[in-house]
Amino acid sequence: MNRVSFSRMVMNSQDYTRLNSEKLLDLQRQLSTGKKIEKASDDPDVAARSKRLQNRLRRDEQLVRNIENTSHMIGEAETQMSSVVEQLQRVRTLTLQAVNAPMTTADMALIATEINQQLEGMLRTGNTKVGGKTLFGGAETDQDAFTAARNGIGEIESVSYQGDDVELGVEMQGVIPITWPGSRIFSKGPMILKNTNQTWNGSSVSNYADREISAAFVPSSGVMEGSMRINGKLINYDLDGNPTSGEGDSLLDIARAINDGDAGVRAEVSGSMQGTTGVSTPLQNFSTEFVGFQNGTIKINGSSMNVTNEDTIFTLANRINSLQANTGVTADVYDANGEKVDGIPNVPEATQPLYLRLNGGVEIEDNGSSDSNIMQILGITSTPPENSGRNLSGNVIENYAIKISGDKPGPFSIEDASGSIVKDLGLTSGVVSGGDIFSTLISLRDKLREGDSSYARDALLPEIDSAMDSVEVYRTEAGVRTNLLDTRKSRLEEVITNNTKLLSDVEDVDLAEVITELRNQENTQTAALRAVSDVLKLSLLNYLG
């Protein structure tokens, strides 16, 4: 029989009492703090899960604060855009009064004075600050977005944009822009560029929109395979030969490359060309009019169309126009005096012969065995036909040119990345339209003071309308961004609610359960202490007898 020493019994009793005391203290801590653990060592697994949830909550709560701040910025921008629309609407009303109602020079001068006041107000709007930061300066938020040069009596003579075209954004599970550069908000509309340095007038086979550019001129840089950069996107070109056609890029090829580049612009080739051979009136179908006519198909900018024996010059024009959405090309019929002919002329007012005119950059494929030869007969393509889509030969009525338009109001950037095609075409200097609305208001004020209401009506009123349309584009965009932020905020708040509950489940104690366990532990501790007390009262005398 093993004997247990008295000292051993005392030590065991003390250990049990200490453990019960520690458990009791832990329950008392949980009851006072409401938390399951006090430090990571209390329960590493719970501590790790708690840390992960806390990190997620901090991140999502910061995102919600970002959204609230961002929504304030966007809301203020939308308010200022509404102010610009109201100012432009008032200017428009004043302009209509000036051009439609009988007015003296003095009356127009009074209107010009109010327009000048609207101009000053718009300048203040352009320099609006939120939280000390310029709202419409792009990334240049520490200075005014616009500065004005003034004449001797303090009136604005010109306004210059001092910001940049950067859209500041915030990270919201993807970057959301929160500002709009003033160069766009206060623009007359999308910028449009058109080449100015080279002429495609059909004076030779190299001067058509479908012919390789290198046949018309040699790039000043000597680089034939280069690239341009539009709004930061690279657009490549090959002037001395590509795998598809074996020939260098044409104006049309450059336009297609730009449109495929997703650079925030659209490119097209403008111009018009007329056939050299006409048809007589009264009309006859092609098979009767022309000996050797062959029906079949032709391709215009890649879209096929059928030409039959019963077609006339008008049905051919109508068929070409039906493909405009795909080809960008329209067709008209003109008489020998250069007058456009609408309908089928069976009366003498149309001076014969009648010619087919094609508007827009065009490539025509009609060199297959089953293709119609009508374009060759009408003197639009060469006979015999040359390489596919490289065979125009008609009279160029309006010179071909490449035209690049921004998708949104305001300017866009374009430069040579390698090579010199932008420089050689004169695209950077060939601004067809664009600029800011301040210059329009300045011109309107000055023209009305001069009594020139015709210029105000014909030239400046359309610019005001275009400017209002531009601002509305961005005001709508502001609403879309606000809705997007509201949606993301709602989702984040749901996530925060769920994660807060999960964190509570991980960290927080069940008070009722802790109280019950605490009472049980107190009873256990009391019983343990009583037992120890009884044991400690014993001595060797209790075992003598």
Q: Which tens digits make up the pLDDT trace of 485-506?
A: 888 888 888 888 887 777 666 6
Is residue 246 located within the same domain as residue 384? Answer: yes
3-state secondary structure of 37: coil
Is residue 119 located within the same domain as residue 146? Answer: yes
Structure tokens at 33: 């703090």
Helix, strand, coil % in the chain, rounded to nearest 5: 45, 20, 35
Structure tokens at 539: 């001595």
Residue 108 CB: number of other CB atoms within 10 A? 22
Domain housing 158? 54-188+437-494
Sorted by sequence, the CB contacts under 8 Å of residue 521 that are 6+ apart come out as: 20, 23, 24, 27
Which pLDDT band holds residue 60 (cuts at 50, 70, 90)? confident
d(C-alpha 127, C-alpha 145), whole Å: 5
**What are the b/e assignments for 292-307, b being 16+ CB within 10 Å?**
ebbbeebbbbebeeeb
Q: What values do phi and psi take at 466, rounded to 5? A: -65, -40
Structure tokens at 270: 């403008």
What pLDDT digit, counting tens, does each position of 351-405 carry? 789 999 999 999 999 988 899 999 999 999 998 877 667 899 999 999 999 999 9
d(C-alpha 530, C-alpha 525), whole Å: 9
Is residue 323 located within the same domain as residue 462? Answer: no
d(C-alpha 402, C-alpha 427), whole Å: 9
Greatest pairwise CA separation for the chain in angstroms: 155
Structure tokens at 136: 């419409």
Q: Is 150 exposed, middle or buried (0-12, 13-18, 19+ CB in 10 A)?
A: exposed
Is residue 223 located within the same domain as residue 353? Answer: yes
Sorted by sequence, the CB contacts under 8 Å of residue 97 that are 6+ apart come out as: 103, 111
Which residue, of 469, 494, 519, is where some domain finishes? Answer: 494
User: According to the model, what pLDDT value does residue 42 have?
Assistant: 59
Is residue 151 located within the same domain as residue 284? Answer: no
Q: Please determine, for residue 254, whether its predicted confidence score (pLDDT) is greater than 80.
A: yes
User: According to the model, what pLDDT value does residue 355 have?
Assistant: 95
Does some domain include residue 538?
A: no
- The pTM score is 0.67
CB-based contact 409:264 (threshold 8 Å): no
- In this prediction, residues 131-151 reach a mean pLDDT of 90
CATH of the domain at 157: 1.20.1330.10
Give the alpha-carbon dihedral of 499, 500, 503, 508, to 10 degrees: -160
User: According to the model, what pLDDT value does residue 537 have?
Assistant: 63
User: According to the model, what pLDDT value does residue 11 have?
Assistant: 65
Does some domain include residue 503?
A: no
Q: What values do phi and psi take at 432, rounded to 5? A: -85, -45
Does some domain include residue 311?
A: yes
Tokens 């970057």 belong to residue = 175
CB-based contact 329:360 (threshold 8 Å): yes
d(C-alpha 232, C-alpha 413), whole Å: 8
List the single range of 73-87, 149-163, 527-541 with lowest mean pLDDT. Answer: 527-541
- In this prediction, residues 194-210 reach a mean pLDDT of 88
Is residue 153 located within the same domain as residue 287? Answer: no
CB-based contact 389:363 (threshold 8 Å): yes
Handedness of CA 535, 538, 544, 545 (dihedral sign): negative
Is residue 204 located within the same domain as residue 142? Answer: no
Sorted by sequence, the CB contacts under 8 Å of residue 299 that are 6+ apart come out as: 305, 363, 364, 365, 366, 389
Q: Identify whether 353 is preceded by a cis peptide bond (ω within 30 of 0).
A: yes
How many structural domains compose the chain? 2
Does some domain include residue 521?
A: no
Q: Please determine, for residue 244, whether its predicted confidence score (pLDDT) is greater than 60.
A: no
Structure tokens at 516: 């019950």
What pLDDT digit, counting tens, does each position of 18-54 carry? 666 666 666 566 555 656 555 556 567 766 777 787 7
CB-based contact 277:379 (threshold 8 Å): yes
Stronger pLDDT, 299 or 62, i.e. the higher one: 299
d(C-alpha 447, C-alpha 434), whole Å: 20
Is residue 159 located within the same domain as residue 234? Answer: no
